[in-house]
Amino acid sequence: MSFTDYIKKMLTGQLRSNSHSADQTASQTPSGAIEKTGPTLLAIDTASTSLSTAVLINGVVKGELYEDMERGQAENLMGFITESLSQASITFDEVDGIAVTVGPGAFTGMRIGLATARALGLARKIPVVGVSSLEAVAYGVSERDQQGRNILVALDSKRNEIFAQAFDGKKRALSAPECVAPRQALMMAPPGDTLLAGDATPRLLTAAAHAPDAFYDCTAPGLPRAGNVARIAAARWGTDENLPPVPMYLRAPDARRIEDQGPAKSRQADEG
């Protein structure tokens, strides 16, 4: 089924089963009416080596799906969205807005999620907002793990550097997101005990072996979860604090990096 066909069927509710539609009809009766206390959001993350979707209704995450996926995100994303909506017992026309990770992360992955979110938002004429992948990972750190300590999130860039950002005990940003070497990333955290989160945590732990401050691993997921993406966007809904739905590039694409090195390097790359 083509992307356009998926959107058309989502808009008309044709992707839902008859039994599911019956459940939804029952939930809309006066006796089952539920007061709306916040936006109903569809959340998408494809900015790294995984795929995650979720729906947020009245502050509750429903239909969250996650799968490690280095390739195939474009082919699987619409199916994930459809399943998340189905598990949340809503149709796409009940969604108030879309939250999508903007990176930093994989160039192709970021474009897949953002292009899909924009297309769906345009089809319904609903807002599309961006959420940092680094913040989404920080948001996944539990209170039990954190205990008021600062957080340093590190995501694998697939190069020598890592994507990193520091957050305080209330998960507020303490630094700008950067693409830096692991030892430089450690200096982004204020003095004192710091929790490390993200899929590049092992590299930070190695670099922190002789650091004067204490750095600790935690149990948070190493990559963003769409449920946390939705929670972050909902907390800022109706304000100008959400990010625009555009890619957060902290380093140049490989092709551009080769071009910037001059004609000789470009010829070597072509010959290779």
pTM of the predicted model as reported, rounded to 2 decimal places: 0.82
d(CA 115, CA 67): 20
Tokens of 56: 């947020």
Tokens of 89: 């017992």
Helices (H) and strands (E) in the chain, counts: 11, 10
Reading the chain (272 residues) residue by residue, the pLDDT tens digits are 444 565 656 555 555 443 343 344 334 444 455 678 899 999 999 999 999 999 999 999 999 999 999 899 999 999 999 999 999 999 999 999 999 999 999 999 999 999 999 999 999 999 999 999 999 999 999 999 999 899 999 999 988 999 999 999 999 999 999 999 999 999 999 888 999 999 999 999 999 887 767 899 999 999 999 999 999 999 999 998 999 999 999 875 544 443 444 555 444 444 44
Q: Is 136 helix (H, G, I), strand (E, B) or coil?
A: helix
Terminal alpha carbon distance of the chain: 38
Helix (H) or strand (E) holding 115: helix 107-124
Q: Is 178 helix (H, G, I), strand (E, B) or coil?
A: strand
| Domains by residue range for the chain, with CATH | 3-134+223-255 (3.30.420.40), 142-217 (3.30.420.40)
* pLDDT at res. 92: 95
d(CA 216, CA 151): 9
